[in-house]
Amino acid sequence: MAGSPRVGVLALQGDVREHAALLADLGADAVRVRRPEELARVDGLVIPGGESSVIDKLSRTFGMQDPIRTAIADGMPVLGTCAGLIMLADQITDAIDGQETFGGIDAVVRRNAFGRQVESFEAELIVPAFDGAPVRAAFIRGPVVESVGPAASVLASLDDGRVVAVEQGHLIGLSFHPEITGETRFHRRFLDRVASRS
C-alpha cells in the first residue's frame, strides 16, 4: 500500500513470519531486517520471540548490535515480544555468560521466568491503556519484569502482580506473544508510534 509505514522485523531468529503477517494485515509494509543497511530503511522495528542469547550473538555477528542501539537512542519505535523484551531491557538476570542486550527500557527482566516450554500457558490480562476485552496472552518460556525504573511504565500485570508488559516512550516490551493469539492492539500501538514519528 502506498504511504504505508515501512517497519522491519528483526529476522535473525524467532517467530519472524507471524509478526510480519500481522503487521501486513494492519496495513504496514513489513520487511525482514538482518543487516544495518536494511535497518536504515525502516521507520520502526519489531524484535520477535525466540532465544535471547541467540539473538544477541547473531546481532553481533551480523553487525546489528550497535546500529540497533543507535536507532533506539535516536527514537526509533521498537516493539519487543518475549525474547524481544529481554533484548530491550537495560538489565537481565539469569543471563548466560557474556549475554548483552540492546537496552532502552529502564527495567530488570528475568529470562525464562515461567519455566520450560511444557509449562507454557495462556492468561487474560487487563490492559488499562486498551478499551474493550481483556488481552489473551500466550506465555512460552517467557521472561518477567522484576523491577521497573522511573523512566518506564507498566502496561499490564498478571493477577499475582508480576509485570508482563512495559513501555518507555517509543519502546514497548511484552513477556508474551500477541502475534500467536491474534491480539492486534499492541502492534497497533507500535504502529501509532511509527506514524507519529514519520
CB-based burial of residue 184 (10 Å sphere; 0-12 exposed, 13-18 middle, 19+ buried)? middle
Out of 19, 51, 167, 179, which one is annotated catalytic?
179
> Considering 19, 51, 82, 187, which one is annotated as catalytic?
82
137 near 167, Cβ under 8 Å? no
Nearest to 112, CA basis, from 49, 167, 39, 184: 49
Contacts of 72 by beta carbon, 8 Å cutoff, 6+ apart:
78, 88, 102, 103, 104, 171
Query: How does DSSP classify residue 170?
Result: T
19 counts as catalytic = no
Active site residue 122: no
Per annotation, catalytic residue among 19, 170, 177, 187 = 177
Catalogue the active-site residues.
Answer: 82, 177, 179
